[in-house]
Amino acid sequence: MAMSYIGSRMLDRELKKGSAELLILSLLETQPRHGYDIGTLIEQRSKGHLRFNVASLYPLLYRLEKRGWIQGRWVEKSGQRRRRYYRLTAEGKKILKEQRNSWREFVEAINSITGLEHA
Amino acid sequence: MPDWNDEVRKRLRGLKVSPANEAEIVEELAQHLDDVYQRALASGAGEAEAKQMALNELNAEHPLLIEVQRYEKHAPEEVILPGETRRLNVLADLLQDLRYATRMLWKNPGFTTVAVIALALGIGANTAIFSVVNTVLLRPLPYKAPEQLVMVWEDATRHGYPRDTPAAANYVDWRDQNSVFSGMAAIADSNFNLTGVGDPERLKGRRVSASLFPLLGVEPHLGRVFTAAEDQPGTERVAVLSHRLWQRRFGGDAAIVGKTLTLNNESYTVVGVMPARFQFPANDDELWVPIAFTAQEAANRNRHYLEVVARLKPGVSLEQAQTEMTTIGARLQQQYPQSNADLGVAVNSLHEHMVGDIKPALLILLGAVGLVLLIACANVANLLLARAAIRQKEIALRVALGARRWRLLRQFLTESLLLATFGGIVGLAIAYVGLLVLGSFIPENISQAREISLDLKVLGFTLGVSLLTGLVFGLAPAIQAVRLNQSETLKEGGRDSVTGRSGKRLRGLLVTAEVAVSLVLLIGAGLLINSFLRLRSIDPGFRADNLLTMKIELPEPKYEAFERREAFYTDLVQRVQSLAGVRSAAVTTNLPLYRQGNSISVRIEGRPEPPPGQELIVVTRIISPGYFDTMSIPLLAGRQLTDQDTETTQNVVVISETMARRHWPGEDPVGKRLSAGRPRSEADWIQVVGVVKDVRQFELNAEPRPQMYLSYRQAAFFFPEDLVVKTDVDPASLAATVRKTVWEIDKDQPVSNIRTMDEILAESIARQRFSMLLLGIFAGVALLLAAVGIYGVMSYSVAQRTHEIGIRMALGAETSAVLKLAVGYGLKLVIAGVVIGLIAAFALTRLMSTLLFGVTPTDPATFVVISVLLICVAAIASYIPARRATKVDPLVALRYE
């Protein structure tokens, strides 16, 4: 049915967007990283299941930056081109904590429902 | 190496950002592409393949420009999927909202049920009453330009009749002298005995001016209406039938026009049949004949029996018409001082006349249902507020997951509207059933009562009400819920505006308002119930039990001779009295409580003739001697009428106690003499032989007027037409036997209106019962809703404070102290509501003073009793959840977060 197709696709998008934010914030928790680094890490750690290309990754980074959750800064190192590194702001740390909780609750909720259906 | 900067810039062409900003973006993206390219080369790919892999990074689902632009311009976060239109998205969102809302409501059956029932009661009651009001008050009368139609009356306020039926000569003068009406028509009651086809039947009909039908602007369904020539005495007798009579008695015979009927033993030619919807003036009129005044009739100013309808000329207002008619009335007063002294003219709209005095009752009911709906909405709003508080975590989660606030707001609204729609559907069912029930209580004499049904306008009204309700109660909680500061809410145990102080205040305010509105309704209902009980307890002056009544009108041509009538009545009473199960029987001109009957102006012997306008008007009944025993009317002095009072003996009369008191104060009236009108000879004097108790002849709640009773053997001015039978068995069980007895005497004599006196008594207060019943139901619903509301708020408030209560209990607080704390909060809200409600009730109940009997609109007893009742109910409703809270184990309560 066309309608449910649109519906599920939209749900997919919402989910992906919500989780993408969480992923980026998590990766920046321990150290600042540049965009290529972030994209590669997501791909590696998800064993290739999740992949962001340039066209979707950078707009997301810009959005998080605009919200004040991360901050980008050009860093030059000897012998390398300058790169834009992103780090987590204080606000971003708070959001990350909250989103982790929400995500846990969400996953638990999903699990409990899907678990129930199998029972 | 490919020029990545160029590739990126190409795709960002048109991006409206500062050049510096753009350069940074391009640089960053180009580096990324270069990284991808380098890695591809490192893993062994060819140059072309590596380049393609890098460029693929840019060929995403969405053009890069749009994605970056969205961020840069902070464009609305509406997603536009490629290849799909925005409309489809809205539709998909709506469907998703609906599905989600349905799931939420389904998952909370308790909440959903209570909310839907609350709404359905409000909406259902509203629709049912609106249907009635719409039909009776709002729907225009089924005549051409009905707003121009008026009724014209004699204003005999001096005699207690501000709108009296005019005499024919006055009607003729009005018709000929006025310049404000384009037409005027007279109507007189006239009943017909239909014989010659099937069972003889009494038909309710009217004599009408030929001008009536054109004046109303109604065309006949078949044939034609009357010509002016037919409205003259001595011409051929013609009749127009109602659609109902035509169907009922003649099976809708298409060839009825031109056929003849035997009515009152005379032959009438049917000239037409009116359409089904036509009724005038009453809904049970079955045929019309021309009024055809004789010269003598047209000159009579003393018999007041007409109803006069007129059509205002275009541009003439009711006030202008009244002014001119007052002038004409004053002229007639001077011209005919004997008959027209103190006689004015009153004009009122036909609509007002037809709607009658039910209007205030209906308007008050309409107000009452509005209030019930308000309470229902407040209740649902309260439920939703409490639930929004409980759902705050869910909302925060959704916001954190990227749900947009507008979407959330819409989600809440969808839920509310869905709830309102369910409420509307169930409400419509309630309305349908309610209307059936209501229909059986609507007093029959409201002319449009038969047409009442649910119609499209009503459906629209309900739909509007339920949608508006959804908006009103959905918006407040939704706005509050979405105003959440998500970072605040996500903190464990965080309190926000919904659960916090302003939310609590809002819910408290709603409860107070509910209580106030319920109190007003309850007091209104209390006053009506009080009135009704007082009305019921009035002694009508006779005993209504075991009385069977029926109408036996003797047709005039056949029974014109006094002897024939006398013989018929004597024979009838004797035969009926000898039936098994019958204790006694009598005939009378009018039964009590039928709102009609004859009056005569009398002169008392030895007193001067009263000046015109101050005649002694006495309600007069012509009876057979057994009447007082049959009706159990107690004799207070002297003797009853007997079979020995005949044409050849002294004329005698029995009078009522009020007449005795008023006309012979401090004297014994027995032995005194009076006459009907001016006595022409000694034989015209009538001697008072007895005094009986007052009987409420017209209405239960009208003070009895002077009354007198004469024997049918001595008085010939009116004919008895009601038979009343006192039985030893269930009176209704004798109906067929008594009717057969009538037909044994005259097989052509119709019998109608077979009723028990108890039914007549009940009907006489049907309007009051109707109002009381409805307002009582509404007040009951209001009380129930208010109790549910208080209970809901208290449950929620106690649940919120479980933690606090646990601490208090753990610290050693007494159960009673905790109970006091919780119930105290509930009572504070309720008492505030009661105070506001009392003030409002003081202001509002005076609007219903016309509906009350024997109680003042501010009856202190009613006010006090109802307030106490409401406070008690409220106390119980807040006690139950409070009690539950004290039963909680303190340890559990402390862990309650």
Q: Where are the alpha helices (DSSP H) in B44-85?
A: 47-56, 64-73
User: What's the domain count of chain A?
Assistant: 1
Query: By CA distance, what is B64's nearest residue in A?
Result: A55
Peptide bond before B281: cis, by omega within 30 degrees of 0? yes
Residues of B in contact with A14 (CB under 8 A): 401-403
Q: Is residue A109 part of a domain?
A: yes
Q: What is the per-residue pLDDT across B620-637, written as a single tens digit (0 to 9) for each?
A: 899 999 999 999 999 999
Q: Is residue A108 part of a domain?
A: yes
* Cα distances (Å, whole numbers) of residue B746 to A108, B249, B687, B716: 92, 21, 35, 21
Q: Give me the mean pLDDT over the B303-315 stretch.
A: 91
Distance CA B240, CA B505 (A): 69
Residue A3 is assigned to a structural domain of this protein: no
Comparison of pLDDT for B815 and B543, the residue scoring more = B543
Beta strands in B589-698 (DSSP E): 598-604, 616-623, 635-638, 652-656, 673-676, 686-692
Which residues of B lie inside 8 Å of A (Cβ-Cβ)?
24-25, 28-29, 31-33, 35-36, 56-64, 67-68, 70-72, 74, 79, 81, 84, 88-89, 91-92, 95-96, 393, 396-397, 400-403, 486-487, 490
Which pLDDT score is estimated for B443? 64
Taking only the tens place, the pLDDT of each residue in B524-559 is: 888 888 888 888 888 888 998 899 999 888 877 788
- Which segment of B217-221, B468-472, B713-717 scores lowest on mean pLDDT? B468-472
Q: Does A5 map to a domain?
A: no
- Where is pLDDT greater, at B488 or B205? B205
Q: How many CB atoms lie within 10 A of CB B59?
A: 13
Tell me which of B675 and B701 has the higher pLDDT: B675
pLDDT digits (tens, 9 = 90+) for B402-433: 666 777 778 778 888 888 888 888 888 888 88
Distance from CA of B79 to the nearest CA of A (A): 9
Q: Looking at chain A, which residue has its C-alpha nearest residue B36?
A: A36
- pLDDT tens digit string along B255-271? 999 999 988 888 999 99
Task: Evaluate whether B622 touches B589 at the Cβ level (below 8 Å).
Answer: yes
- Whether residue B576 contacts residue B548, with contact meaning beta carbons closer than 8 Å, is answered with no
- Of B130-144, B156-170, B258-272, B404-418, where does the model show the most confidence? B258-272
Give the bridge partners for B241, in sequence order: B273, B287
Residue A4 lies in a domain: no
Question: What is this model's ipTM?
Answer: 0.80
**Which range is most confident: A105-109, B640-644, B803-807?**
B640-644
Give the distance from residue A27's alpha carbon to the nearest chain B alpha carbon, in angstroms.
Answer: 18
Q: Measured between beta carbons, which residues in chain A are less than 8 angstroms from residue B487?
A: 94-95, 98
> What's the whole-model pTM score?
0.60
Q: Which residues of B touch A66 (CB under 8 A)?
A: 71, 74
The domain that holds A20 is classified in CATH as: 1.10.10.10
Q: Is A101 on the interface with B (CB under 8 A)?
A: yes
Q: Is A10 on the interface with B (CB under 8 A)?
A: yes
Sign of the torsion formed by the C-alpha atoms of B335, B336, B338 and B343: negative
pLDDT digits (tens, 9 = 90+) for B476-530: 666 665 665 444 444 444 444 445 566 677 778 888 888 898 888 888 888 888 8
Q: What pLDDT was estimated at residue B34?
A: 87
Give the closest of B25, B79, B487 to A13, CB-based.
B79
Q: How far is A107 from chain B (nearest CA, A)?
A: 12
pLDDT grade, residue B62 (50/70/90)?
low
Q: How far is A115 from chain B (nearest CA, A)?
A: 18
Give the confidence band of A113 by pLDDT, cuts at 50, 70, 90: low
Q: What is the pLDDT of residues B684-698, one digit of tens each?
A: 899 999 999 999 887
Would the CB atoms of B68 and A99 count as touching at under 8 Å? no
Residue A34 is assigned to a structural domain of this protein: yes
What's the pLDDT score for residue B724? Answer: 93
Q: Does A29 touch chain B (CB under 8 A)?
A: no
Chain A residue numbers with beta carbons less than 8 Å from the beta carbon of B490 are 98, 101-102
Residues of B in contact with A55 (CB under 8 A): 57-64, 67
For residue B50, pLDDT over 60 is answered with yes
pLDDT 10s digits, A21-59: 888 888 898 888 999 989 888 888 877 777 777 877 888
Q: Which domain holds residue A95?
A: 12-118
Any domain includes A103 = yes
What mean pLDDT comes out for the span B844-869? 85
Residue A17 C-alpha, separation from nearest chain B C-alpha, in angstroms = 7
**pLDDT tens readout for residues B316-359:** 999 999 999 999 999 999 999 888 888 889 999 888 887 766 67
pLDDT at B337: 87
Domain membership flag for residue A43: yes
- Output the average pLDDT for chain B: 81
Alpha carbon separation from B287 to B52, B131, B206 (Å, rounded): 97, 29, 7
Mean pLDDT is lowest, of B179-183, B396-400, B877-881, for: B396-400
Nearest to B115 by CA among B432, B326, B416: B416
